[in-house]
């Protein structure tokens, strides 16, 4: 365990060395982990646990996800079962269906919980916004959370590369007195690199804000805006794409990832440094009120209400594919498809 001090704020970081796999296996040796759902998180967490020798089964409906699991080597009747059967077998139920899926599945899951079981989430959505989801865990179970800070695809890829993905962890309800150790053992079983503590509330507020802002929504909007300005001013699609996306992802953002924003600045031209330093405060002033508005919308439950209503529509999948196609067919990402194969080694 490492205690870090960031401007006077002390945080406890739990590393792999604090929870070697042998320790996690010892804690979980009498547990049966049942993962419900095989989206990105269910798949990534499940495969990582299986590959590390933990006692894990999947619970799915027969259909596309079931077929995908079979392709990944899960075996019906051995470690692949229909949802309710898996839920009844599990002592730790990793509830990793989609947010909308959790709402539909909750009555079944609740009926399968036994005293002393652990109900595990990777997102605080269902529990925090219980007034909208009706997910209220019974008092006689542990309720825990491990939230990888990235997609399940990244969790799996980094695991296969021998690395890991940082995760947050939280205990919402400790009925058995073992909730924390069950939580931490599972966190490293799924391939976490290191852990930092949070709460269900903080996890969902930060996660939904981040997705709508700098992780996805805001970055897409920024890419579109700069690309469009350059195109309107006579720059070619290749030039606009390279200056907007390619240089960011291939050159500058990796420098930020390596050692931070100051490192990126230090490795750019003096002209670039000066311009970025001058304009950054103006962008912050313009964007921060929007992110504040987004956070307020998340905390008040407006964003969850929108998500639940959208995901509950019968035509949701068709509408989503239509929206994604509009992005794919835009000139920005059409240029990307044409230019990406020209990268060395692609």
Q: What is the pLDDT of residue 346?
A: 66
Task: Specify which residues 194 forms β-bridges with.
Answer: 15
Mean pLDDT of 13-34: 95
Phi, psi angle pair for 101, to nearest 5°: -65, -35
Task: Specify which residues 216 forms β-bridges with.
Answer: none
Mean pLDDT of 195-204: 96
Q: What pLDDT band is residue 263 in, cutting at 50, 70 and 90?
A: very high
What is the tens place of the pLDDT at every residue in 82-110? 999 999 999 999 999 988 899 999 999 99
Task: Tell me if 136 sits within 8 A of 103, measured CB to CB.
Answer: no
All structural domains of the chain: 2-198 (3.40.50.720), 210-342 (no CATH)
User: How many Å apart are CA 100 and CA 79, to the nearest integer?
Assistant: 25
User: At residue 5, does pLDDT exceed 90?
Assistant: no
Q: What pLDDT band is residue 73 in, cutting at 50, 70 and 90?
A: very high
Please name the residues in contact with 120: beta carbons below 8 A apart, sequence gap of 6 or more.
92, 93, 94, 95, 144, 145, 146, 183, 186
What is the tens place of the pLDDT at every residue in 60-72? 999 999 999 999 9
DSSP SS3 for 293:
helix
Candidates 126, 152, 188, 144; CA nearest to 42 is: 152
Q: What pLDDT band is residue 4 in, cutting at 50, 70 and 90?
A: confident
Mean pLDDT of 322-345: 93
> Catalytic residue among 68, 123, 172, 202, which?
123
pLDDT exceeding 70 applies to what percent of the chain?
A: 100
User: How many Å apart are CA 241 and CA 229, to the nearest integer?
Assistant: 11
What is the tens place of the pLDDT at every residue in 155-187? 999 999 999 999 999 999 999 999 999 999 999
Mean pLDDT of 237-249: 96
Instruction: State yes or no: is 123 an active-site residue.
Output: yes
Q: What pLDDT band is residue 222 in, cutting at 50, 70 and 90?
A: very high
What is the tens place of the pLDDT at every residue in 274-291? 999 999 999 999 999 999
pLDDT exceeding 90 applies to what percent of the chain?
A: 91
Task: Tell me if 98 sits within 8 A of 92, measured CB to CB.
Answer: no
What tokens were used for 169?
């962890």
Phi, psi angle pair for 314, to nearest 5°: -65, -30
């Amino acid at each position: 365990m490492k205690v870090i001090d960031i401007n006077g704020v002390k945080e406890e970081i739990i590393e792999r060395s604090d929870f070697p796999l042998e320790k996690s296996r010892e804690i979980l040796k009498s547990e049966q982990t049942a993962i419900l759902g095989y989206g990105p998180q269910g798949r990534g967490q499940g495969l990582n646990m299986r590959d590390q020798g933990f006692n894990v089964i999947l619970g799915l409906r027969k259909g596309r996800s079931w077929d995908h699991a079979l392709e990944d080597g899960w075996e019906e009747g051995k470690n692949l079962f229909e949802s309710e059967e898996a839920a009844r077998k599990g002592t730790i139920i990793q509830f990793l269906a989609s947010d909308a899926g959790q709402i539909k599945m909750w009555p079944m899951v609740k009926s399968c919980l036994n005293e002393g079981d652990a109900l595990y989430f990777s997102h605080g959505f269902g529990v925090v916004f219980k007034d909208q989801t009706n997910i209220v865990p019974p008092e006689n179970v542990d309720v825990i959370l491990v939230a990888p800070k990235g997609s399940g695809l990244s969790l799996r890829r980094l695991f296969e590369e021998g690395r890991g993905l940082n995760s947050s962890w939280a205990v919402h309800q400790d009925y058995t007195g073992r909730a924390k150790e069950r939580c931490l053992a599972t966190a490293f079983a799924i391939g976490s690199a290191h852990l930092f503590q949070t709460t269900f509330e903080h996890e969902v507020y930060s996660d939904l804000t981040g997705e709508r802002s700098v992780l996805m929504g805001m970055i897409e909007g920024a890419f579109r805006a700069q690309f469009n300005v350059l195109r309107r001013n006579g720059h070619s699609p290749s030039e606009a794409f390279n200056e907007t996306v390619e240089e960011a992802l291939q050159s500058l953002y990796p420098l930020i990832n390596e050692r931070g924003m100051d490192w990126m600045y230090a490795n750019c031209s003096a002209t670039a440094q000066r311009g970025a330093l001058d304009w950054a405060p103006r962008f912050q002033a313009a964007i921060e009120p929007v992110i504040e508005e987004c956070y307020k919308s998340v905390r008040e439950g407006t964003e969850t209400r929108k998500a639940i209503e959208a995901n509950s529509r019968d035509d949701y999948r068709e509408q989503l594919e239509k929206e994604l196609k509009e992005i794919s067919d835009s000139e920005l990402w059409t240029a990307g498809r044409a230019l990406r194969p020209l990268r060395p080694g692609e």
